[in-house]
Structure 1
Amino acid sequence: MSDCGCDKARRDLEEYLRNEICKTEHADIRAHLENCPGCRDEAHVATTLTEVVARACKETAPEELRDQVIARLRAVQSGTH
């Protein structure tokens, strides 16, 4: 295995993080990330962002906020806003 270089690592980072890349390329990118602080930091940011977005998608709005939004939508739809 060889160091794939920053350009390749960054170009394929999303696929690498989602495990959507062949095993050989995955190993090359992993080796690169182990030896390149800049690319490793970029991978960390991408991973953190993905986790935060996934967590936010699982959250639900408080009941009171949902009621307010629905009431406002109904008012706009009925023309009494």
Structure 2
Amino acid sequence: MASTHDHGPTNEECADFLERIMRLIDNELEEGDCAVVRAHIDTCNPCLERYDLQRTVKALVARSCSEKAPVELRDRVRVRIQEIQVRITET
């Protein structure tokens, strides 16, 4: 889906690539689609920035998920989630 404009991809074209960029990061695209997405990223700075940001976030989450939160923190988070659920059901 290369842009035919001299000004680069349009916002609409980039919106079409967002889901495919996430699927590329997750290794869920076929090789032909990977090449198309990579070609777009190579010519579109906003999409390249989104790609880099999403890769960084996924790497941080993956690294953080291997660590276990202290029991006290997990208990506080669990209580807070229950409080929010109660408020939601009351409204």
TM-score (norm 2): 0.60
Give the superposition deviation at 1:50: 0.3
Counterpart pick for 1:46 among 26, 33, 54: 54
CA distances 1:17-68 after superposition (whole Å, capped 9, x unpaired): 111111111100000001100000001110010011111111234xxx44xx
Query: Larger radius of gyration, structure 1 or 2?
Result: 1
TM-score (norm 1): 0.66
What count of residue pairs does the alignment treat as equivalent?
A: 64
The Cα RMSD (Å) is: 2.0
**Does 1:24 pair with 2:32?**
yes
Q: Which runs of 5+ in 1 are unaligned?
A: 73-81
* Identity across the alignment (%): 25
Instruction: Determine the C-alpha separation between the residues in 2 that align with 1:8 and 1:24.
Output: 16
